[in-house]
Structure formats: structure tokens, C-alpha cells
Amino acid sequence: MAILFAFGFAVSAAVSAIAVDAAALYHERRMLQAGVDLAAISAAVDPARAAEIAQSVLVEARLLAPASTDGLTVVTGRYDRSGSIAAERFTPGATPVNAVRVTLMRSGTLHFASSFAPEPSISAAGLAAVTPEVSFSLGSRLASLNGGLANALLSDLLGTNVSLSVADYTGLAAARIDALSFLDALGIRMGLSAITYDDLLALDADAGLIAMALADLTNGPVNLALLSLAGGSAGNAVPLSRLMALGRLGGLQLGSAGAADISLSTLEVLTAAAALADGDRQVSLNLGAAVPGLVSLRLDLALGEPPQGGGWFAIGPVDTVLRTAQLRLRLRAELLGGPVLLGAGVSLPLWLDLAQAEARVAAATCPTPAAPQGSAVIEARPGLARLALGELGDYALADFGSPPALAPARLVDVLLLKVSGSAQIEIAQTTPVALGFSSADIAAGTLKTVTTTTPIASLAGSLLGELDLTVSVLGLGLASPALIAQALRDLLAPLAPTLDMTLAATLSTLGLGIGEADIRVYGVRCDHAVLVG
């Protein structure tokens, strides 16, 4: 009986020892997995040093002896989230590298059962990948700014009297500010603290405060120019969420400048803010032009749906999208006709519809020693443009829900002579165009322009070349309808370059182009790794 009791006690003790060791091994396995996961996340941020980083993390976690790599395997490769089967998403050795798998195998510790049980092996594996985040912009043609027209447009959009020289605009375009530093300065101007950048971007800011915040980061003539703009633009609110989007950086607290190196042009920020400023979003300008016989040239502009996805600038992963604003222009030129036209005034009404241009991050690769800026592919689609000869009333100018009606316009309307005309041209790009930005392109701040496949030599010239005229002669002794039509064409032909220049300069001030989309990539960030397996 005593023997049976002793045997039973021994068995019970052995079972208890195994249970205790099993629990200890489970805890040890969990600690091993936590260390391996941390090593994979740390290594994925810098795949070129993956083995070194993983070993260092595991040593610090006391899962490896110093200078030891026993049982450690580190593999770099490519992780593709689009794979349908998890096991097939990671391809060891594939490039461009964006993921690291860390595996560690070691002996487990037996506290009580080591005398009668073999030493167990435990292992853990962790797979971490980085999601490249691209900072990019859509629309920025600052080099072609025309001082006079830019002054007129910014005056209406900002609600102040802008009187800057071309040299001022050149200085504003050249002055670079850090995006986060700008938001820090704006937060101070708005009396805000202890909030995140996303909290700030959810608010509206006075256009004058935006100019003041930019002035806080500049000096010299640029500072004076910004202060002059800030003085009279109070009351025009700018929705900051449409000015820029910061992606993951938006969760940082104000005052975190330095967390990202994002250098923007002061003029880019200013003109983007002006286009978003509140009001009726319509601008009317009387423009002068040195064209013989041209009496007046009037421009009316209406902005439709504002920019999407963060305005003109955003930071985000693949599939982040930016879209420019819709825009509608109305131009009316008044000219003096020659003898064949009885000296009658000639009116030329035109309208331009410009749809949103779009840019989407299609691909991105992380920085490497050979390509320190990384690389990106942006798919861009220029906005559809329609230019037509025709009358456009105030209501139709602002009604973006439907395209303007096409109807013949009366060009000459006097007692004995009436001439009507119609014409329309359309420029469209239905499929996106891929633009590749190398590390060198990003470092140089290269601006790339995608254009529609429709050639554009002279937009207004092409329109006037399509002009269909109807001449009505109501008196005797007048020239033939054919001669009158030719005289009218000869009168309008020299006007085409002026109209083209006016359209281009107006759109350039707003960072837009006809049948074109301008893209710039500022950088690729890969400092945020997550576990994926």
C-alpha cells in the first residue's frame, strides 16, 4: 500500500512539474514572439541593415547573447497586400524591398522536468512591412506668373488690394517653408496649442492669418510682401482641410516640426489658400491688351467644386488622390470693325469649361542607400477642357451642375449688318498617364507635366479657325457676305495670341492648365512599419 502511495505521489509530482513547466514555456514563447515582432518592425524601417537591427533588438530584449546570432534568421523581400493568399504575399529576396521576416529558434527552459524530459525547442517568427507614404502636389506653374493678372486675381480672391511686382512673385515662389513649421506658426497665430495637426486642419483660418504665418517664417522682401497681403484680407476664411492633408503625420502634436522634411514654396501655399477663400467664388476683371482695334477685354471666373483630397498637396500611401477645382471662364473682347464692317463694334464672347484634373499615387518604393529619396509613380489625368464661342449668362457661369448651352453668338449687330457665329473645340484625356519620379527627380524637386494626347498649339486660334459665320446684309451697297465674313476673320485672327495668353496666365495663377496637369513629388517616407504576419 505504501509503495502504491509513493508511486502515486511521484506521478502526481511529475504531472505537476510538467504542468508548471508547460505554463512557463508558454510564457517564454510569448516573450519570444513579442521580441521577434519588435525586431521585425524595427528592421523593416531600414531593410538594408535588417540583420544588424534585428540582432540588436533581440539582444536588448535578452533573447540573444551579445554578438550572438544563434538560431536567428532574417530575410528581406517584397510584401504585396493584393495577394489573395496570405502565404503568397511575401516573396523573399524580391525587390523593391519593403518587408522583413525575422525568425528566432532557441532552447526552452525546464524548471522541474529537466531530469526526465528532453530539452524543448521554441521558435517565433514575425513579418513586418512598411507602407511608403508619398508627399506630392497637383498644380503648380509658378514660373509663368504674370504680375498684373496675378495681382488682380489675388485681390479678388483674398478680398484685399494686392499690388506686388513680378520680382515679389519671383521671391515668393523661391522662398521655401516647411509644411509643419507653417502649421505651427498658423496655430500660434490662431491662439491654439495642445492639439494635433489634423485638429488644426479641421478648422477654417482667416486668409490674413495664413499670410501672417507665412511671414513669420520668412524675412527680407518676401516678408514685407506677405505682410502687405495680410493687412487687408481679414474675413476671408480658408477651409484648411482643403489646403493640405498630412496622412499619418496629421496625428502629431503641433510643435512637431522636424518630424518631416517637407519644403513647400511660399507662393504655392498662398495661391492655394486664395483659391479656397470664401465668398461668391467669382472674379471679374477688366484687362488691357495692346492689340490694334481691341477696345476692351473682360474676364469673369467662377470656381466650382473646390480641390479634393487635401487641396493641392497631400501625404499618403498608394491610392491617395488629389483633384483640382473645377473652373469656368468667360471672356468678352470688344473690337472696332473696319470699313467693310461699316466701322461697327464687334463683340467676341467666349467661355471655357475646365474639369478637375486628378493625380493618384500608383506605386512607391522606400529610400535605399542607392536611392536615398525613394521613388514614386503618379498616375495623372488632365481635366477635360471645352472652349466655345457663345453667350454665357451670370447664372450659367456659376451653375456647374450642367454644361453651358451651345448657341450661335451675335458678333456684329447694327441696323444694316448682322453677323452670328458658332464654334467649339474640346480637349480630353480619358485614361491616366503614369509619371515616374526617381530619387534624383525627387531630390531636384522636378516638376513633371502630363498633357492630353490632343495637340494644343493655339487654343483660341484653333477655335477661331473653326468659326462658322452667318452674315445677314440688310442694305444695298454693302460688300458681299463672303467678303464681310473674311474681313471679320482677318480682324479676329490677331486676337488669338492675346486670348491664349490671357487664358494661360489666369490658369497659371491658380496652378491649373488647359489639357495639362503638373505633378511634383516632395519625398517618400517609410518610417512606419506594421506587422503583417
Q: How far apart are the first and last CA of the chain?
A: 56
Neighbours of 443 (CB within 10 A): 12
- Cβ atoms of 286 and 155 within 8 Å: the answer is no
Mean model confidence pLDDT for the chain: 80
Q: What is the DSSP letter of 382?
A: P
pLDDT digits (tens, 9 = 90+) for 250-290: 888 998 877 677 888 888 888 888 777 765 556 777 776 65
By C-alpha distance, which of 455, 383, 458, 466 is closest to 421? Answer: 466
For residue 51, what pLDDT band results from cuts at 50, 70 and 90? Answer: very high
Nearest-angstrom CA–CA distance, 205 and 185: 12
Measured CA distances, 198 to 73, 252, 349, 450, 500 (Å): 40, 8, 45, 31, 40
Measured CA distances, 30 to 23, 79, 122, 145, 335 (Å): 11, 25, 10, 62, 84
Q: What is the DSSP letter of 308?
A: B
**Residue 4 pLDDT:** 43
Percentage of residues in the chain with pLDDT exceeding 90?
14
Torsion of CA 135, 139, 142, 148, to 10 degrees: -140
CA atoms within 13 A on the CB side of 360: 10
pLDDT digits (tens, 9 = 90+) for 127-166: 998 888 899 988 766 545 666 677 777 777 777 777 888 7
Could you tell me whether strands 417-427 and 375-381 are parallel, antiparallel, or unpaired per DSSP bridges? unpaired
**Residue 9 pLDDT:** 44
Q: Give residues with Cβ within 8 angstroms of 407, minimum separation 6.
A: 390, 391, 422
DSSP string covering 394-433: HHHHH-TTSPPPP--EEEEE-SSEEEEEEEEEEE---S-E
- In 284-334, which residue ranges form alpha helices assigned H by DSSP? none
* Helix (H), strand (E) at residue 386: strand 385-389
State the average pLDDT over residues 296-308. Answer: 74
By C-alpha distance, which of 422, 443, 425, 306 is closest to 376? Answer: 443
Q: What is the DSSP letter of 289?
A: -
Nine-digit cell string for 164 = 506686388
Which stretch of 68-72, 117-121, 366-370 has the lowest confidence by average pLDDT? 117-121
- Cβ atoms of 411 and 420 within 8 Å: the answer is yes
Nearest-angstrom CA–CA distance, 524 and 447: 16
- Cβ atoms of 32 and 63 within 8 Å: the answer is yes
pTM above 0.85, yes or no: no
Could you tell me whether strands 313-316 and 244-245 are parallel, antiparallel, or unpaired per DSSP bridges? parallel
**Residue 118 pLDDT:** 67
Which range is most confident: 54-58, 311-315, 431-435, 497-501?
54-58
Neighbours of 252 (CB within 10 A): 17
Helices (H) and strands (E) in the chain, counts: 14, 26
| Interhelix angle 220-230/266-276, nearest 10 degrees | 10
State the average pLDDT over residues 116-129. Answer: 80
